[in-house]
Amino acid sequence: MMTTTPAEPALRIENFSAGYVARVPIVNEVSHAVPAGQVATVVGPNGAGKSSLLKGLYGLTRWSKGSVVVAGTEVTRLSAWERLRAGLSLVPQGRCNFPYMTVRENLQLGVATLPRRQRESSVAVALAEFPALEAHLGRMAGNLSGGQQQLLEIAMAMAARPRILLIDEPSLGLSPAARRLVFDKLRQIAATGVCVVMVEQNVVEGLAASDLGIVMVEGRIHRTGTADAIANDPEMKQVFLGGRPGTEPAHAPHSTSGRDQT
Ligand SMILES: Nc1ncnc2c1ncn2[C@@H]1O[C@H](COP(=O)(O)OP(=O)(O)OP(=O)(O)O)[C@@H](O)[C@H]1O
């Protein structure tokens, strides 16, 4: 275990490689740091390994090399459960609530890792931070709109009081208004000192809501910088259009993915 120093970022990834089967890393030698209170967005073409990176940070892939350090504590060899307790929380891609349970029951599941005596108060704190959910406490989660479900999933992850929120494609399938709500919420969460690392296909809006941009291509970090610099880099068009820098574009860009819904 490493010790925390004042300069230690919330998340430090060093030379990290991981995949799904032995000797086939999907994420290759990734190194990066994200400070507390910042939003970093991972962008890149389909299949670049963005989701695999998030899963790898959370311990859901097969580790092959390097380390993941959360506020000075190395978590590389910990299970996902132990990483949750160390301060990492993941909102996976797609709907990941329990649709036939009420909003309250979903939130109660979000605090299941906390000591019993803290659970009810943590649900209350989550509701205070997500007032839009309060009116729907008794509704089945599956009956909420797409935007409300995404907020619920973020609330469930935040109820565990993480230092780092990992979130995969939060805007997927949402209407422009719902996307704005979700991105605003992620910014508010970062303003409380949480480090937010998201993967986004909606490059323009994702980067606009971020401090840092991380471009992944073929499992490796291709470029990092301020979100503004990445958003305005003319080379990025080629990365997204063609999948590999230095090659001709292959398909049309898409700033959003999936159907819009509310
Ligand atoms: N569970 C899995 N088992 C084996 N291979 C996987 C698994 N999940 C993803 N992969 C492979 O890992 C590679 C990277 O996929 P990943 O989903 O991480 O990319 P991505 O950048 O998030 O893409 P997208 O934007 O399309 O979601 C792909 O070749 C994919 O087929």
Ligand 1: which residue has its CA nearest to atom 16? 49
Ligand 1, closest atom to CA 93?
Answer: 27
**Among the listed residues 256, 202, 245, 244, the one whose alpha carbon sits nearest the alpha carbon of residue 227:** 202
**Conformational region of residue 13, where left means phi above 0, alpha means psi within -120 to 50, and beta covers everything else:** beta
| pLDDT 10s digits, 122-164 | 888 888 889 889 899 999 999 999 999 999 999 999 988 899 9
- Looking up tokens 């208004």 gives 177
Ligand 1, closest atom to CA 201?
Answer: 25
The answer to whether the CB of 201 falls within 8 A of the CB of 254 is yes
| pLDDT 10s digits, 105-124 | 999 988 887 888 888 888 88
Q: What is the DSSP letter of 137?
A: T
Averaged over 191-200, what is the pLDDT?
A: 96
What's the pLDDT at 262? 44
What's the pLDDT at 9? 92
Q: Which of 21, 42, 50 has most ligand 1 atoms within 8 Å of its beta carbon, as the pocket-test mutant?
A: 50
- Tell me the C-alpha distance between 204 and 225, whole Å: 15
Ligand 1: which residue has its CA nearest to atom 25? 46
> Pocket around ligand 1: residues whose beta carbon is below 6 Å from it?
20, 26, 44, 46-52, 201
Is the pLDDT assigned to residue 246 strictly greater than 90? Answer: no
Give the lowest-confidence range in 4-13, 89-98, 248-257.
248-257
E strand map for the chain: 11-21, 24-34, 39-43, 62-70, 73-74, 88-91, 164-168, 195-199, 212-217, 220-226
- Tell me the C-alpha distance between 70 and 60, whole Å: 16
What's the pLDDT at 257? 40
Is the pLDDT assigned to residue 259 strictly greater than 50? Answer: no
ipTM for the predicted complex comes to: 0.96
φ, ψ of residue 3 in degrees (nearest 5): -100, 155
Q: Which of 16, 20, 51, 200 has most ligand 1 atoms within 8 Å of its beta carbon, as the pocket-test mutant?
A: 51
What are residue 89's DSSP bridge partners? 165
**How many residues are listed for the chain in this entry?**
262
The answer to whether the CB of 212 falls within 8 A of the CB of 226 is yes
What the chain holds in terms of domains, given with CATH numbers, is: 9-87+163-239 (3.40.50.300), 97-161 (no CATH)
The answer to whether the CB of 153 falls within 8 A of the CB of 185 is no
Confidence of residue 5 (pLDDT cuts 50, 70, 90): low
Q: Which of 26, 43, 214 has most ligand 1 atoms within 8 Å of its beta carbon, as the pocket-test mutant?
A: 26
Ligand 1, closest atom to CA 44?
Answer: 21
What are residue 19's DSSP bridge partners? 25, 62
